Chain A
Amino acid sequence: MNEPDMETKTKIRWSEYNKEIANDKFFYLRSCIRQNFNPGAEKVFLSILQNKLGKEVYDDPHHTTCSGIGYHSDIVPFETFQTMVARQFSLMTERGYKNCAVSCITSFGGYNEVLSTWKEFPEELEKTRENLLKATGRTFEIPENLSHACDIIYKFRKEIAAQAPYRLINKETGEPLKIVDHIGCHYAKIFPEKGVGGSEYSRVLTGMIEAWGGEAVDYPERRHCCGFGFRHYLIKNNRSYSISASRKKFESMQPYQPDMILTNCPGCNMFLDRWQYALAQIEGKVYGGKNGIPVLSHEELAALVLGYDPWKDIGLQMHQMDVEPLLDKIGVEYDPKLKFTGVKGQYINEPEFTGCLARTD
């Protein structure tokens, strides 16, 4: 078990929250939102684990959504949700894997919820076994370890740092990049002990930032929800609640002029990225950077530092906020013209403009 290594100023109370993260042989459970909005992130996560860290991770084509979106929007009943999760685990047992690597924060929260329900109420486990058997004829074992993708990246952040050609240091000034993090709520707020560093002062992203040379900036609304919450954005007249939450975060991080926002949940990533554009359109206010603060997930940042190609491998062109300023600061070589050229070199179209406001220059 790795010993608790607390480097930064927050030094107390974390010993209880240091969770156990598996070492190898992961069964990858994809995220609906991440593979739809930033597919590159998942591809590059697998590549980092297999090629850079030499870990064995299996991406089973038969696994489905965990139905977390439906469950959290009150469409999918909890029983069905348990059966879906059980099916994923049965795929795992079939392949002989014991450790899950979960890509999405909401499913990570959902899996933890299901696992602890089974632990507290064994009869629920039995009922799920029957349902699964009835529905698919499958049986399953409870996995030994459930870790989120960001836990794994956090665990091997030093190994990644060792192989990384780039550092999160501003090339010209030599200053470490100022990076603000946002932890997905379902990561540690439902089960604090399941998150690295608990819910109040979560360490999972700050650990990475500091390992790769950046400076983790703590801003007052750090723990505030990004506003993604399924119910808040699914229905049109709830969306003002969603954007207001993001706005509060942007207001709070603005004085620190962060170079980028690091997230570990696909939903937060997408909304913190898109809402900056929407706020700029409505209020004409840009909260940071030249034309918006770039928002990256932990895999994307890890890949960036490891030297993957921003467009072809990581697929950063899918982001609304321009990432070019960040790339220039780190000094990553990239070809601006290739931003919107497809794998076979064809033009894959582009949005009317990227960033917050249409460029007038």
Chain B
Amino acid sequence: MNNKHVAVIGGGIAGMEAASVLARQGLKVTLIEKQANTGGKLNDWDHLFPDFSSPEVLVNSLATKTKDSGVNTVYNTEISRIERAGKRFELRANQDARFYADAVLVASGFNVFDATIKEEYGYGLFGNVITSVDFEKRMKKHGQLHTIQGTDPKRVAIIHCVGSRDAKVGNTYCSKVCCITGIKQAIEISEMLPDCEVFCFYMDLRLYGSKFDSLYLQAQKRHKIQFIRGRLSEAAERADKSIQIKAEDTLQGRPLRMTVDMVILLVGMEPGASTSQLIQKNQMTVDENGFLKSANVHCARNQSTQEGIFMAGTAICPMAVNETIENARSATTEIIHFFENRRP
């Protein structure tokens, strides 16, 4: 079994975890990462929910695990084509490098929703409208949150469901992790700027995980964060760069207007650009949301519709960090199982 070679596409936490586990099982593993370093989206993340832990620690531990287990990692290589070559697969990358593998694990992750598509929210037009990803980047880089005028915001609005559950942008699914991220960021803001009013505009608060609801209670009780049930309709910049936002307080059934210093859009997860690239060229199919389609949503979630090609992590559907790592591990068992009962 140990002369089998697995190619793992995508060096995010799913890819790294799967690669290291497979390698430790004695398989030859090549990890192909399109960027200069592994870690994927977590590299520019500041704190993780629900325990505000540091993603750097997680990425470093995964990186060392991958290195120690003898995984051959290839950087700056983006796979554009998977061809079936007999019983094996031929992977063609951008600089027409070639990789041959007995099984392929697609862990190409997700794309952050491009908030400029929601033009009426003014992302890309108004300096003080940022996304949750921008927020994490800024906090990681400067450790503080300033308006573009350089002042401390006195009032911040956090908008839920931007690019998710929205037919207008073609993503009708729920990205699952934005609600709790919003609450986490709201708490971070109010801890950093105690006299800053924070409002969360939501349709439904989907706090599915353990400790999520207690974080919500803590946000309300200790940090005085106000939750308004109503979807943001439009944002407009005022002369002093503050943003006037309009929504409906649906619990009262009345429109509401408010001027805030900053707007944070909780952008959802979209199917990764690379998966779409892989899809056009060969037979991998996608589900109605554009994520990779599992052979069976219950018992073969990591198997794609193509025998020998597997998937892990947010390439399948929106997932939190802990779910992604678990999903990666379940993918490795599928692969090992696949090798075992395949007669040479």
A, B: real partners: yes
Chain A contacts to B: CB under 8 angstroms: 9-10, 12-13, 200-201, 218-223, 252, 255-256
B116, A222: Cβ atoms closer than 8 Å:
no
Stretch at the interface among B105-113, B202-210, B237-245: B237-245
Is the C-beta of B124 less than 8 angstroms from some C-beta in chain A? yes
* Cα–Cα distance between A360 and B10 once the two chains are bound (Å): 77
A13, B236: Cβ atoms closer than 8 Å:
no
Is the C-beta of B234 less than 8 angstroms from some C-beta in chain A? yes
Closest chain-A Cβ to B3's Cβ sits at a distance in Å of 52
Contacts of B119 in A (CB 8 A): 13, 200-201
Is the C-beta of B120 less than 8 angstroms from some C-beta in chain A? yes
A255, B236: Cβ atoms closer than 8 Å:
no
A218, B237: Cβ atoms closer than 8 Å:
yes
Contacts of A252 in B (CB 8 A): 244
CB-based nearest A residue for B125: A10
- CB-CB under 8 A for A13 and B116, given A220-B244, A223-B234: yes
Contacts of A255 in B (CB 8 A): 238-239
A12-B124, A255-B238 known; 5 other A-B pairs, CB under 8 Å? A12-B125, A13-B119, A200-B120, A223-B234, A255-B239
- CB-CB under 8 A for A12 and B239, given A220-B244, A223-B234: no
- CB-CB under 8 A for A221 and B236, given A10-B125, A12-B116: yes
B125, A256: Cβ atoms closer than 8 Å:
no
Pairs A–B under 8 Å by Cβ, sample size 21:
A10-B125, A12-B116, A12-B124, A13-B116, A13-B119, A200-B119, A200-B120, A201-B119, A201-B125, A218-B236, A219-B236, A219-B238, A220-B237, A220-B244, A221-B236, A222-B236, A223-B234, A223-B236, A252-B244, A255-B239, A256-B239
- CB-CB under 8 A for A220 and B125, given A13-B119, A200-B119, A200-B120: no
Contacts of B238 in A (CB 8 A): 219-220, 255
CB-based nearest A residue for B244: A220
CB-based nearest B residue for A10: B125
CB-based nearest B residue for A9: B125
Contacts of A221 in B (CB 8 A): 236
Interface membership of chain B positions 225-247, coded 1 if the CB is closer than 8 angstroms to chain A and 0 otherwise:
00000000010111100001000
Contacts of A12 in B (CB 8 A): 116, 124-125
> B120-141: which have CB < 8 Å to A?
120, 124-125
Contacts of B124 in A (CB 8 A): 12
Contacts of B234 in A (CB 8 A): 223
* Cα–Cα distance between A221 and B236 once the two chains are bound (Å): 8
* Cα–Cα distance between A13 and B118 once the two chains are bound (Å): 11
Contacts of B120 in A (CB 8 A): 200
Contacts of B244 in A (CB 8 A): 220, 252
Closest chain-A Cβ to B292's Cβ sits at a distance in Å of 30
* Cα–Cα distance between A10 and B122 once the two chains are bound (Å): 10
CB-based nearest B residue for A223: B234
* Cα–Cα distance between A255 and B240 once the two chains are bound (Å): 10
Contacts of A10 in B (CB 8 A): 125
CB-based nearest A residue for B122: A200
Contacts of A256 in B (CB 8 A): 239
CB-based nearest B residue for A217: B239
Contacts of B116 in A (CB 8 A): 12-13
* Cα–Cα distance between A357 and B168 once the two chains are bound (Å): 46
